[in-house]
Amino acid sequence: MSLKATVTKKGAILLGAYVACDAFNEGRPLRVVTHAHYDHTLGLKQSLKKCEAVVMTQATRDLIEVLKGSTFLASGNVKTLEYKEPFTYEDERLILHYVDHILGAAQVLLEDAEGTRILYTSDFRLHKTPVIDADILVLEATYGNPSRVRPFKSMVEGMLVSLVEQGLREGPVYVFGYHGKLQEVMQILNDAKVEVPFIVPERVFHVSKVCEKHGMRLGGCLLSSDEDARVMLRKSVPCVALYHMGSHRYVGKGALRIRVSGWEFRRPCRKIAENEYIVALSDHSDFNELLQYVKKSNPDLVITDNFRNGDAVTLAKEVQRRLNITAKPLPP
């Protein structure tokens, strides 16, 4: 049974006989992209050239076209699937299921000719993610250590809104995060009726437009290159400027600055410098939620993803110790 799923040294999640997820693998005719984050699009150009089909949701396709260019996917056969829409290849059936992570993200269920259910969760947040029954479960391990627990999850959004509102009394507030999470921040603030302009650089702007196209409620946003936006920032007019995490060293000096990060476990909001805070907004399950997923899915075997960032070795040991389910990290 263990040969029906593995994780390669190049990060490909291999399911059944034909499918590679989230990295290229020579000889696999199908490639699945579970979502648009960079560590799940590895070797995508090779897959487009060599695979018979590259499978993803329409929202993931739209995001990749923004992040990698509108012609990037044109070199291959991209097959978009709705959630729960079956796709049959030879004697195996592939189904994408919804997962609460970034827009368009999916968990992958493969059913082989013998009826074995092989599931890859990809990255997920448990709260709104449906748990799928599986015989073999390939599990993300980002927060796979027992110390990676957030008892304060329900407080985070309220703390974020309060901190932003506090900063707006003085002028602009800068928020730094990754694609997907920045749009989640915009939706949280919009839902909380924080009615100020959102100012964003070009790539964040286009990602946001894709998110709105697929139903997210983000409110109005202006390009940071627009004259109106530049005037607002220069004159310290209250607004929220949202930038990719890689920009936090370069912009927003002197204003209230917030980094949204899942790697904060001490408290929902922590001051790290004058006018600078970390808010513990995560789009991954913590350790307890990972165990909850395994328990509800009830597999015979768990494989923890030991290629991507996380703690797969510890998670496998804890699954075996606490749930008495055979578990191993792969690649070794």
Q: For domain 153-279, which CATH number applies: 3.30.70, 3.30.160, 3.40.50, 3.90.1070?
A: 3.40.50
Range(s) within the chain of domains with CATH label 3.60.15.10: 2-147+284-330
Weakly modelled stretches of the chain, pLDDT under 70: 1-2
Tokens (6 digits) for 303: 């494989």
Write the Ramachandran bin of 275: left for phi over 0, alpha for psi from -120 to 50, otherwise beta: left
Could you please state the CATH topology (level 3) that the domain comprising 2-147+284-330 is classified under: Metallo-beta-lactamase; Chain A (3.60.15)
pLDDT of residue 317: 98
How many Cβ atoms sit within 10 Å of the Cβ of residue 1? Answer: 12
- The confidence score (pLDDT) of residue 26 equals 95
All residues at 6 or more sequence positions from 109 whose CB lies less than 8 Å from its CB, including other chains: 94, 95, 96, 97, 117, 118, 119, 132, 134
Pick the closest to residue 21 from 94, 81, 85 (CA basis). Answer: 94
Residues of the chain with CATH 3.40.50: 153-279
Report the pLDDT value the prediction gives residue 249, as an integer from 0 to 100: 86
Residue 110 phi, psi dihedral angles, 5° rounding: -120, 130
Q: How far apart are the first and last CA of the chain?
A: 18
Pairwise CA distance, residues 41 & 46, whole Å? 11
Q: How far is CA 174 from CA 25, 36, 185, 240, in A?
A: 40, 24, 12, 6
The 10s digit of each residue's pLDDT in 62-92 is 999 999 999 999 999 999 999 999 999 999 9
Are residues 181 and 207 in contact, defined by beta-carbon separation less than 8 angstroms?
no
Q: How far is CA 191 from CA 23, 157, 256, in A?
A: 36, 11, 21
Note the pLDDT of residue 1.
Answer: 45
pLDDT tens digit sequence for 228-259: 999 999 999 999 999 999 998 889 988 999 99
